[in-house]
Structure 1
Amino acid sequence: MSSPRVVVLDYGSGNVHSVAQALEVAGARVELTRDRDSVLAADGLVVPGVGAFTAVMEQLNAVKGSELIDRRLVSGKPVLGICVGLQVMFEHGVEHGIDTEGLGQWPGVVEKLEAPVLPHMGWNTVQPPAATKLFQGIQDERFYFVHSYGVLDWKMDEQGPLTHPQVTWAEYTSRFVAAVENGPLSATQFHPEKSGQAGIKLLSNWLGTF
């Protein structure tokens, strides 16, 4: 059985090479590209993200990222967002008083974490749901976070284009969304590529879903 081919969307985000290396360790054949045909044909697509919500959305829009992600999801092809790559899947991001429209795959707003010290940086545990696939075998492990913004409230009675999400939470003074599994669309607020063997196992679990 050949290794799955995964494209890391190379749209200008700064952590693409470390993500690619971690995916290779997890068992994928990896390509860094923004080429439309390659993105649509790949077994899996990873959308990394570092920095500000607005800047990431501008970079994604410049390479028609929204259309590429939509096309894959409509076809049931897996997409994984990482860090700001999770945040942009939601409807809006509010940073420094600026409200930026996200990709709108899920209902919700990305806002400043309710904590006395920011950023939330370092290792933290997570609380995955019983039906998780991403966290199989690593439910009690710690993962590496670097962020000042997140999704604090998931309105489960609202449904976006995808339904029946499995939401993983974490706590830093108050709770926030640490990961989402929703059909072909998954995302993590933490960085699997910086989370040691637990992060590699999570990526391996994701590869095992397709």
Structure 2
Amino acid sequence: MIAIIDYGMGNLHSVSKAVERLGCEAVVTSDPATILAAEGAILPGVGAFGDAMANLRETGLDAVVKQYAATGKPLLGICLGMQLLFTESEEHGTHRGLNLLPGRVVRFQGSYKIPHMGWNELAFKQAGPLFEGVEPSHVYFVHSYHALPENPSDLLAVTDYHQPVTAIVGRGSLFGMQFHPEKSGALGMRLLERFVGMTRLARKG
């Protein structure tokens, strides 16, 4: 079972349905015990970083997410959920994140169109279990802020939007995708399938 963490901000239904299409049970929940018992967890997110962190703290789910990450079971942040994994964001002021990955989230700077919205091609930076049997292609982005990981080893994939842009991050069983895999066609579903496969391995372990 994969827990879709409900803290009041995220595409919960579409993520849940995508996981179910892969033949895995998905439960949308804010219950700490249910989340911690799951073989995998997904932290979705749409909206502002500061509001999301405020919701997580008010519900106590910030501590639950950190506790879950410490178990070593697979955890995936999607879009804003990926950004929340980092130390801080400059969106509408400086806001502290979950600090599971060191780095900052900053606004795009330039005369080009913001937000970055549409289909862009991924470039994998290093090998890993998430990419086994997966060929890079295009995925769907919608964001005005992007992550700058401190550790190069945490950067798994980038895309190009007038500069290299962090697209996938990861360390151990912790992953984040800036794009929406559930809206990204065949490649998005393939990446989700690889994540689901990791949760099945966690269950067997």
Superposed pair shares fold, TM > 0.5: yes
Aligned 8 A contact 2:88 2:103 in 1: yes
Structure 2 distance, partners of 1:202, 1:26, is: 11
Q: Is the 8 A contact 1:114 1:173 kept in 2?
A: no
Partner of 2:100: 105
Is 1:180 aligned to residue 178 of structure 2? no
Mind listing any 5+ residue stretches in structure 2 that lack a counterpart? 200-205
**3-state DSSP of counterpart to 1:169:** strand
Tell me by how many angstroms 1:140 deviates: 2.1
Report how many residues are paired.
Answer: 198
Instruction: Provide the residue aligned with 2:25 in structure 1.
Output: 29
Aligned-partner SS, 2:149: coil
Post-superposition offset of 1:65: 2.0
SS of residue paired to 1:95: coil
Aligned match of 1:48: 44
**Aligned-residue RMSD, C-alpha:** 1.5
**Structure whose residues are more often helix by fraction:** 2
Q: Which residue of 1 aligns with 2:184?
A: 195
What amino acid does structure 1 have at the position aligned with 2:103? G
Distance 2:125 2:19 in 1: 24
Does 1:63 find its partner at 2:52? no
Which of 139, 151, 156 is 1:156 aligned to? Answer: 151
Distance 1:138 1:146 in 2: 23
Deviation digits for residues 44-93 of structure 1, max 9, x if unmatched? 01000001111111111122222111211221111100000000111110
Q: Which amino acid aligns with 1:202?
A: L
Task: Provide the rounded CA distance (Å) in 1 between the counterparts of 2:169 and 2:194.
Answer: 14
Q: Report the alpha carbon displacement of residue 166 of structure 1 after superposing the two structures with TM.
A: 4.8
Whole-angstrom distance in 2 between the partners of 1:199 and 1:63 = 30
Q: Point out 4+ residue stretches in structure 1 off by more than 6 angstroms.
A: none
Who is 1:80 aligned against?
76
Where 1:193 maps in the other structure, the secondary structure is: helix
